[in-house]
């Protein structure tokens, strides 16, 4: 089978059937040689990453959008013609041949006509309106751009969109229970210190992560900004900690490493299969102070003793608008209504947890989203409902600050 047909099949599974791009590619490209894999991956990720831009290039050339299978074929063919600089005849010929296998060749003349138009015209002029242009060029939905512009201002909005189209270096966290950072850097020269964040390491450009060292629990993969949440929680050895939305356990394990594996951490998650991920993590890293629990944290107040914990981390389920870099399949599917239900869940989890913190204890609420309704406003309304809580610190990390994901964190204490 040709690489282009395989790329089209992958895109159908991702866009039409809603499957995750990394899982589809891993499954479909197994047993293929490196050259074929590279071409298919580039077509699939390039088309997804530029889904609005490629659609913009041809949508004005048709009266009505064709069926999804054909629209996806046109998207990926336009991506190859304009942005991969593939030989035009090969792209056109294969697209037309492929279209003959879809719905009895009904759409072949359309595919041929549209691609010839694009081939002749090359790129279509972009809209004059700067915000419409930004949405198309960076392939973000217009509603999200309007929301960021209103909430964070024009410069921040532009910077977030531009960041999402780049590739940031892979950040890791050394397991201080097993090795010091200096010893790790000496042993694995593929890593270097983050230029702005102490205790965050980055894989050097083009370097492969060391699989054996990972399996041996010497380090974990964790986004640079995400590594700042546990220091805000400031866990101490011998603390009783509740990590209420813990899977896959990245921060649970970071907390345990900070506590030198002393004290106790209760790590909860709603889904059994995700609780297993926490257990795999603690085993790989050699951690013993964590016990896991599968539960609905909106009822956390009925599951634990009142005022049982010194510190609570609510790393809440959220819309994830801070983590859209390289997640074009999510960008393509998300809707503004998605946030409504999640805001209520965040509120209910916070309310339930409020009863479980000891006096003068610390509660950290964090999300990986850039949306004030889930962040600042969530905390403001919590403080109105719970007068015995006080805000100590609140911070939004924008992606361009550390060339990493966007995060929000708020530290509260109880009187």
Ligand X SMILES: C[S@@+](CC[C@H](N)C(=O)[O-])C[C@H]1O[C@@H](n2cnc3c(N)ncnc32)[C@H](O)[C@@H]1O
Closer of 296 and 400 to ligand X (Cβ): 296
Distance (Å, rounded) from C-alpha 200 to C-alpha 224?
Answer: 6
> Binding residue for ligand X (CB under 6 A) from 10, 72, 246, 324?
246
> Binding residue for ligand X (CB under 6 A) from 296, 376, 400, 401?
296
Stretch binding ligand X (CB under 6 A), from 49-57, 141-149, 249-257, 380-388: 249-257
Distances 227 to 200, 231, 397, 408 between C-alpha atoms, Å: 7, 8, 12, 12
Closer of 40 and 334 to ligand X (Cβ): 334
Cβ at position 291, least distance to ligand X in Å? 15
* Count of Cβ atoms closer than 10 Å to residue 352 Cβ: 20
Q: Note whether 297 binds ligand X by CB under 6 A.
A: yes
- Element of type H or E holding 121: helix 108-121
CB distance 41 to 328 below 8 Å: no
Q: Torsion over CA of 144, 146, 147 and 150, rounded to 10 degrees?
A: 160
Distance (Å, rounded) from C-alpha 319 to C-alpha 143?
Answer: 14
Distance (Å, rounded) from C-alpha 99 to C-alpha 86?
Answer: 19
Distance (Å, rounded) from C-alpha 324 to C-alpha 328?
Answer: 7
Distance (Å, rounded) from C-alpha 387 to C-alpha 80?
Answer: 58
Catalytic annotation present for 368 = yes
Distance (Å, rounded) from C-alpha 119 to C-alpha 391?
Answer: 58
Q: Note whether 294 binds ligand X by CB under 6 A.
A: no
Q: Note whether 249 binds ligand X by CB under 6 A.
A: yes
CB distance 221 to 209 below 8 Å: yes
338 is in an annotated binding site: no
Q: Note whether 147 binds ligand X by CB under 6 A.
A: no
> Binding residue for ligand X (CB under 6 A) from 26, 133, 196, 271?
271
Stretch binding ligand X (CB under 6 A), from 124-132, 186-194, 242-250, 325-333: 242-250
403 is in an annotated binding site: no
> Binding residue for ligand X (CB under 6 A) from 3, 94, 315, 403?
315
CA 336-340-344 angle, to 5 degrees, is 155
Q: Note whether 245 binds ligand X by CB under 6 A.
A: yes
Cβ at position 320, least distance to ligand X in Å? 8
Stretch binding ligand X (CB under 6 A), from 79-87, 293-301, 396-404, 407-415: 293-301
Q: Note whether 235 binds ligand X by CB under 6 A.
A: no
Cβ at position 298, least distance to ligand X in Å? 5
Which residues between 344 and 403 bind ligand X (CB under 6 A)? 345
Question: Helix-strand-coil percent breakdown of the chain, rounded to 5?
Answer: 50, 15, 35
User: Could you list the active site residues?
Assistant: 368
Per CB under 6 A, residues contacting ligand X are: 245-251, 268-271, 274, 296-298, 315, 317, 345
């Amino acid at each position: 089978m040709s690489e282009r047909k395989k790329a089209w099949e992958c895109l159908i599974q991702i866009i039409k059937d809603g499957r995750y791009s990394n899982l589809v590619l891993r499954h479909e490209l197994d047993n293929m040689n490196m050259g074929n894999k590279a071409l298919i991956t580039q077509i699939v990720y390039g088309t997804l990453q530029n889904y609005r831009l490629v659609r913009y290039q041809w949508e004005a050339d048709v009266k009505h959008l064709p069926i999804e299978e054909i629209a996806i074929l046109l998207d990926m063919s336009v991506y190859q013609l304009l942005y991969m600089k593939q030989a035009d005849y090969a792209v056109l010929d294969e697209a037309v041949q492929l279209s003959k296998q879809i719905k009895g060749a009904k759409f072949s003349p359309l595919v041929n006509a549209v691609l010839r138009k694009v081939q002749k015209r090359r790129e279509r002029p972009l809209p004059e309106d700067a915000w419409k242009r930004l949405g198309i060029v960076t392939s973000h939905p217009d509603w999200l751009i309007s929301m960021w512009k209103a909430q964070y201002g024009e410069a921040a909005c532009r910077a977030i969109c531009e960041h999402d189209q780049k590739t940031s270096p892979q950040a890791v966290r050394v397991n201080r229970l097993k090795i010091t950072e200096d010893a790790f850097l000496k042993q694995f020269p593929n890593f270097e210190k983050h230029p702005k964040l102490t205790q965050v390491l980055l894989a050097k450009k083009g370097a492969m992560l060391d699989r054996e060292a990972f399996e041996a629990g010497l380090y974990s993969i964790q986004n640079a900004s995400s590594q700042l949440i546990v220091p805000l929680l400031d866990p101490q050895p011998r603390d009783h900690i509740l990590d209420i939305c813990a899977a896959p356990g990245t921060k649970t394990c970071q907390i345990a490493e900070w506590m030198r594996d002393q004290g106790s951490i209760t790590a909860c998650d709603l889904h059994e299969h995700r609780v297993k991920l926490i257990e795999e993590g603690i085993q790989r890293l050699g951690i013993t102070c964590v016990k896991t629990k599968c539960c609905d944290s909106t009822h956390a107040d009925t599951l634990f003793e009142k005022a049982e914990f010194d510190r609570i981390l609510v790393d809440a389920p959220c819309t994830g608008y801070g983590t859209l870099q390289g997640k074009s399949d999510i960008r393509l599917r998300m809707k503004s209504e998605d946030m409504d239900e999640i805001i209520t869940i965040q509120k209910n989890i916070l309310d339930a947890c409020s009863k479980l913190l000891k006096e003068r204890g610390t509660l950290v609420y964090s999300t990986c989203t850039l949306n004030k309704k889930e962040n600042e406003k969530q905390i403001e309304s919590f403080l109105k409902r719970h007068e015995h809580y006080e805000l100590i610190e609140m911070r939004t990390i924008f992606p361009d600050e550390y060339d990493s994901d966007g995060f929000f964190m708020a530290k509260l204490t109880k009187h």
